[in-house]
Amino acid sequence: MIERLAGPSPQTTLVLFDIDGTLLLSGGAGKRALNETFEELFGVAGGFDGIPVAGRTDPLLFNDALARHGMTAAADLRARFHDRYCELLAETILSPLPRKGLMPGVRELLAGLENRAGLRSALLTGNYARAARIKLEYFGLWQHFACGAYGDDAASRDELVPVAMARARGSGIDIRSPTQVVVIGDTPLDIRCARAAGAWSVAVATGPFDEAELQSHGADRVLPDLADTAGCIDVLETMAMAAGGRS
Protein backbone atom coordinates (compact mmCIF):
# COMPACT_ATOMS: atom_id res chain seq x y z
CA MET A 1 0.00 0.00 0.00
CA ILE A 2 1.26 3.48 -0.88
CA GLU A 3 0.93 6.05 1.88
CA ARG A 4 0.53 9.72 1.01
CA LEU A 5 2.94 11.87 3.01
CA ALA A 6 1.74 15.10 4.59
CA GLY A 7 2.29 18.37 2.77
CA PRO A 8 2.64 19.25 -0.91
CA SER A 9 5.06 17.43 -3.18
CA PRO A 10 7.99 19.80 -3.87
CA GLN A 11 9.21 17.95 -6.96
CA THR A 12 8.14 17.09 -10.47
CA THR A 13 7.15 13.49 -11.18
CA LEU A 14 7.96 12.02 -14.58
CA VAL A 15 5.23 9.66 -15.82
CA LEU A 16 6.68 7.25 -18.39
CA PHE A 17 4.16 5.53 -20.64
CA ASP A 18 4.66 2.34 -22.59
CA ILE A 19 2.91 2.43 -25.98
CA ASP A 20 1.72 -0.95 -27.32
CA GLY A 21 -0.88 -2.59 -25.11
CA THR A 22 -0.86 0.36 -22.72
CA LEU A 23 -1.84 3.39 -24.79
CA LEU A 24 -2.96 1.72 -27.98
CA LEU A 25 -3.24 -1.30 -30.22
CA SER A 26 -1.82 -0.95 -33.73
CA GLY A 27 -3.88 -3.84 -35.07
CA GLY A 28 -0.73 -5.82 -35.77
CA ALA A 29 0.74 -3.11 -38.00
CA GLY A 30 4.12 -3.38 -36.29
CA LYS A 31 4.38 -7.16 -36.62
CA ARG A 32 3.25 -7.03 -40.23
CA ALA A 33 5.81 -4.36 -41.10
CA LEU A 34 8.59 -6.27 -39.31
CA ASN A 35 7.82 -9.43 -41.27
CA GLU A 36 7.59 -7.61 -44.60
CA THR A 37 10.90 -5.86 -43.99
CA PHE A 38 12.63 -9.08 -42.99
CA GLU A 39 11.38 -10.82 -46.11
CA GLU A 40 12.52 -7.95 -48.35
CA LEU A 41 16.03 -7.85 -46.90
CA PHE A 42 16.65 -11.51 -46.04
CA GLY A 43 14.27 -13.47 -48.25
CA VAL A 44 12.58 -15.20 -45.30
CA ALA A 45 8.81 -15.00 -44.88
CA GLY A 46 7.35 -14.76 -41.38
CA GLY A 47 10.72 -13.96 -39.87
CA PHE A 48 9.22 -12.73 -36.59
CA ASP A 49 6.52 -15.38 -36.24
CA GLY A 50 6.68 -17.13 -32.88
CA ILE A 51 9.02 -14.59 -31.32
CA PRO A 52 7.71 -13.17 -28.01
CA VAL A 53 6.94 -9.48 -28.44
CA ALA A 54 5.29 -8.15 -25.26
CA GLY A 55 7.47 -5.63 -23.45
CA ARG A 56 10.57 -6.30 -25.56
CA THR A 57 12.58 -3.79 -27.60
CA ASP A 58 12.62 -3.66 -31.40
CA PRO A 59 16.41 -4.25 -31.61
CA LEU A 60 16.07 -7.32 -29.38
CA LEU A 61 13.27 -8.69 -31.56
CA PHE A 62 15.45 -8.17 -34.63
CA ASN A 63 18.35 -9.98 -32.95
CA ASP A 64 16.05 -12.90 -32.12
CA ALA A 65 14.77 -13.10 -35.70
CA LEU A 66 18.32 -13.15 -37.05
CA ALA A 67 19.40 -15.82 -34.57
CA ARG A 68 16.36 -17.99 -35.29
CA HIS A 69 17.26 -18.09 -38.96
CA GLY A 70 21.02 -18.42 -38.48
CA MET A 71 21.80 -14.94 -39.77
CA THR A 72 23.83 -11.92 -38.72
CA ALA A 73 23.65 -8.27 -39.74
CA ALA A 74 26.32 -5.59 -39.75
CA ALA A 75 25.56 -2.02 -38.72
CA ASP A 76 24.71 -0.85 -42.24
CA LEU A 77 22.18 -3.64 -42.74
CA ARG A 78 20.67 -2.94 -39.33
CA ALA A 79 20.24 0.69 -40.36
CA ARG A 80 18.56 -0.40 -43.61
CA PHE A 81 16.23 -2.67 -41.65
CA HIS A 82 15.29 0.16 -39.29
CA ASP A 83 14.61 2.62 -42.10
CA ARG A 84 12.60 0.23 -44.25
CA TYR A 85 10.61 -1.05 -41.28
CA CYS A 86 9.60 2.49 -40.34
CA GLU A 87 8.61 3.23 -43.95
CA LEU A 88 6.40 0.15 -44.09
CA LEU A 89 4.95 0.81 -40.63
CA ALA A 90 3.88 4.30 -41.71
CA GLU A 91 2.03 2.72 -44.64
CA THR A 92 0.61 -0.30 -42.82
CA ILE A 93 -0.84 1.58 -39.88
CA LEU A 94 -3.12 3.44 -42.29
CA SER A 95 -4.86 0.17 -43.20
CA PRO A 96 -8.23 -0.75 -41.61
CA LEU A 97 -6.73 -3.43 -39.37
CA PRO A 98 -8.69 -5.37 -36.72
CA ARG A 99 -8.20 -4.48 -33.05
CA LYS A 100 -6.63 -1.13 -33.86
CA GLY A 101 -7.41 1.76 -31.54
CA LEU A 102 -6.73 3.57 -28.30
CA MET A 103 -7.07 1.88 -24.95
CA PRO A 104 -9.95 3.11 -22.74
CA GLY A 105 -9.40 6.52 -21.18
CA VAL A 106 -6.02 7.23 -22.75
CA ARG A 107 -6.88 10.49 -24.49
CA GLU A 108 -8.67 11.83 -21.42
CA LEU A 109 -5.83 10.86 -19.06
CA LEU A 110 -3.13 12.48 -21.18
CA ALA A 111 -5.18 15.66 -21.47
CA GLY A 112 -5.82 15.61 -17.72
CA LEU A 113 -2.12 15.25 -16.91
CA GLU A 114 -1.34 18.38 -18.89
CA ASN A 115 -3.39 20.34 -16.37
CA ARG A 116 -1.65 18.87 -13.30
CA ALA A 117 1.29 20.79 -11.91
CA GLY A 118 4.14 18.48 -11.01
CA LEU A 119 3.19 15.61 -13.34
CA ARG A 120 4.93 15.42 -16.74
CA SER A 121 4.16 12.79 -19.36
CA ALA A 122 6.95 11.10 -21.31
CA LEU A 123 7.60 7.77 -23.01
CA LEU A 124 9.43 4.57 -22.16
CA THR A 125 8.96 2.10 -24.99
CA GLY A 126 10.71 -0.71 -26.77
CA ASN A 127 9.76 0.82 -30.11
CA TYR A 128 12.36 2.50 -32.25
CA ALA A 129 11.94 6.25 -31.69
CA ARG A 130 10.75 6.80 -35.26
CA ALA A 131 8.25 3.93 -34.98
CA ALA A 132 6.93 5.31 -31.69
CA ARG A 133 6.29 8.66 -33.32
CA ILE A 134 4.55 7.05 -36.31
CA LYS A 135 2.14 5.19 -34.04
CA LEU A 136 1.43 8.12 -31.74
CA GLU A 137 1.02 10.66 -34.54
CA TYR A 138 -1.45 8.36 -36.26
CA PHE A 139 -3.62 8.43 -33.12
CA GLY A 140 -3.02 12.14 -32.44
CA LEU A 141 -1.09 11.60 -29.19
CA TRP A 142 2.50 12.57 -29.97
CA GLN A 143 2.16 16.15 -28.72
CA HIS A 144 1.41 15.00 -25.16
CA PHE A 145 4.93 13.73 -24.44
CA ALA A 146 7.86 15.90 -23.38
CA CYS A 147 10.54 13.34 -24.25
CA GLY A 148 11.18 9.61 -24.20
CA ALA A 149 13.48 6.61 -24.05
CA TYR A 150 13.27 4.11 -26.90
CA GLY A 151 14.49 0.79 -28.21
CA ASP A 152 17.20 2.65 -30.12
CA ASP A 153 18.73 3.64 -26.78
CA ALA A 154 19.24 0.15 -25.35
CA ALA A 155 18.27 -3.40 -26.29
CA SER A 156 17.43 -4.07 -22.63
CA ARG A 157 14.37 -2.28 -21.30
CA ASP A 158 15.97 -2.28 -17.84
CA GLU A 159 18.40 0.41 -19.04
CA LEU A 160 15.77 2.86 -20.25
CA VAL A 161 14.62 4.64 -17.07
CA PRO A 162 17.99 6.42 -16.63
CA VAL A 163 17.87 7.40 -20.31
CA ALA A 164 14.40 8.88 -19.87
CA MET A 165 15.53 10.78 -16.77
CA ALA A 166 18.48 12.28 -18.64
CA ARG A 167 16.25 13.28 -21.55
CA ALA A 168 13.80 14.88 -19.14
CA ARG A 169 16.56 16.94 -17.55
CA GLY A 170 17.69 17.95 -21.04
CA SER A 171 14.13 19.15 -21.68
CA GLY A 172 14.19 21.32 -18.57
CA ILE A 173 12.28 18.93 -16.29
CA ASP A 174 13.72 18.77 -12.77
CA ILE A 175 14.15 15.02 -12.24
CA ARG A 176 16.88 14.18 -9.74
CA SER A 177 15.94 10.74 -8.44
CA PRO A 178 14.21 7.61 -9.81
CA THR A 179 11.73 7.99 -6.94
CA GLN A 180 10.35 10.88 -9.01
CA VAL A 181 9.57 8.48 -11.87
CA VAL A 182 6.48 6.33 -12.50
CA VAL A 183 6.54 3.69 -15.24
CA ILE A 184 3.14 2.72 -16.66
CA GLY A 185 2.98 -0.46 -18.74
CA ASP A 186 1.11 -3.67 -19.41
CA THR A 187 3.82 -6.35 -19.04
CA PRO A 188 6.10 -7.82 -16.36
CA LEU A 189 9.04 -6.30 -18.26
CA ASP A 190 7.63 -2.81 -17.65
CA ILE A 191 7.46 -3.63 -13.95
CA ARG A 192 10.97 -5.07 -13.95
CA CYS A 193 12.52 -2.03 -15.62
CA ALA A 194 10.89 0.26 -13.04
CA ARG A 195 12.11 -1.87 -10.15
CA ALA A 196 15.61 -2.12 -11.64
CA ALA A 197 15.88 1.66 -11.59
CA GLY A 198 14.16 2.26 -8.25
CA ALA A 199 11.14 3.89 -9.91
CA TRP A 200 7.45 3.40 -9.20
CA SER A 201 5.48 0.92 -11.29
CA VAL A 202 1.84 1.12 -12.35
CA ALA A 203 0.73 -1.94 -14.31
CA VAL A 204 -2.40 -2.01 -16.44
CA ALA A 205 -4.16 -5.23 -17.41
CA THR A 206 -4.88 -4.09 -20.97
CA GLY A 207 -2.34 -6.41 -22.58
CA PRO A 208 -1.72 -10.16 -22.42
CA PHE A 209 -1.32 -10.32 -18.62
CA ASP A 210 -4.12 -10.20 -16.05
CA GLU A 211 -4.13 -8.20 -12.82
CA ALA A 212 -3.07 -11.12 -10.61
CA GLU A 213 -0.07 -11.95 -12.77
CA LEU A 214 1.05 -8.33 -12.93
CA GLN A 215 0.73 -8.02 -9.15
CA SER A 216 2.83 -11.15 -8.69
CA HIS A 217 5.71 -9.40 -10.48
CA GLY A 218 5.82 -6.66 -7.88
CA ALA A 219 3.95 -3.72 -9.38
CA ASP A 220 3.34 -0.92 -6.89
CA ARG A 221 -0.18 -0.58 -8.24
CA VAL A 222 -2.23 -2.61 -10.72
CA LEU A 223 -5.18 -1.11 -12.60
CA PRO A 224 -7.63 -2.82 -14.95
CA ASP A 225 -7.10 -0.01 -17.48
CA LEU A 226 -6.70 3.78 -17.67
CA ALA A 227 -10.40 4.54 -18.04
CA ASP A 228 -10.84 6.23 -14.64
CA THR A 229 -9.05 9.52 -15.29
CA ALA A 230 -9.52 10.93 -11.80
CA GLY A 231 -8.53 7.63 -10.19
CA CYS A 232 -5.38 7.32 -12.31
CA ILE A 233 -4.31 10.87 -11.52
CA ASP A 234 -4.91 10.23 -7.83
CA VAL A 235 -2.63 7.17 -7.97
CA LEU A 236 0.10 9.22 -9.66
CA GLU A 237 -0.23 12.12 -7.24
CA THR A 238 -0.13 9.72 -4.29
CA MET A 239 3.13 8.28 -5.62
CA ALA A 240 4.47 11.80 -6.10
CA MET A 241 3.61 12.68 -2.51
CA ALA A 242 5.17 9.45 -1.22
CA ALA A 243 8.37 9.80 -3.27
CA GLY A 244 10.23 11.66 -0.54
CA GLY A 245 9.80 8.75 1.84
CA ARG A 246 10.79 6.01 -0.60
CA SER A 247 14.29 4.57 -0.50
Query: Residues 209-226: what's their mean pLDDT?
Result: 98
The domain 29-92 having CATH identifier 1.10.150: the answer here is yes
pLDDT at 3: 45
pLDDT at 206: 98
Residue 1, pLDDT > 70, answer no
Output DSSP code: residue 20.
Answer: B
Query: Residues 20-38: what's their mean pLDDT?
Result: 98
Given a contact cutoff of 8 angstroms between Cβ atoms, the answer to whether 238 and 117 are in contact is no
Residue 10, pLDDT > 70, answer no
Question: Cα separation of 114 and 184, whole Å?
Answer: 16
Give the pLDDT band (50/70/90) at residue 243.
Answer: confident
Query: Residues 22-48: what's their mean pLDDT?
Result: 98
State pTM to two decimals. Answer: 0.94
pLDDT at 11: 85
Q: Express each pLDDT in 90-127 by its tens digit.
A: 999 999 999 999 999 999 999 999 999 899 999 999 99
Domain 13-26+100-245, CATH homologous superfamily name and number: HAD superfamily/HAD-like (3.40.50.1000)
Question: Cα separation of 133 and 104, whole Å?
Answer: 20
E strands of 172-242, at which residues? 181-185, 200-204, 221-223
Write out the H or E segment, with its range, that includes residue 211. Answer: helix 211-216
Q: Which residues contact 155 (CB under 8 A, 6 or more apart)?
A: 57, 59, 60, 63
- Angle of helix 58-68 relative to helix 75-92, nearest 10 degrees? 110
Query: Residues 211-231: what's their mean pLDDT?
Result: 98
Residue 246, pLDDT > 90, answer no
Q: Express each pLDDT in 43-62 by its tens digit.
A: 999 999 999 999 999 999 99
pLDDT at 7: 39
Share of the chain above pLDDT 90, in %: 92
Domain ranges of the chain: 13-26+100-245, 29-92
* Sign of the torsion angle spanned by Cα atoms 218, 223, 225, 230: negative
Question: Cα separation of 148 and 163, whole Å?
Answer: 8
Query: Residues 12-23: what's their mean pLDDT?
Result: 98
Q: Which residues pair with 1 in a beta bridge?
A: none
Query: Residues 64-91: what's their mean pLDDT?
Result: 98
Greater confidence (11 vs 19) lies with 19
Residue 133, pLDDT > 50, answer yes
| Bridge pairing between strands 181-185 and 148-149 | unpaired
Query: Residues 218-226: what's their mean pLDDT?
Result: 98
Given a contact cutoff of 8 angstroms between Cβ atoms, the answer to whether 173 and 192 are in contact is no
CA distances from 243 to 120, 134, 172, 200, 238 (A): 15, 33, 20, 9, 9
Query: Residues 205-218: what's their mean pLDDT?
Result: 98
Q: How buried is residue 225: exposed, middle or buried, by Cβ count under 10 Å (0-12/13-18/19+)? A: middle
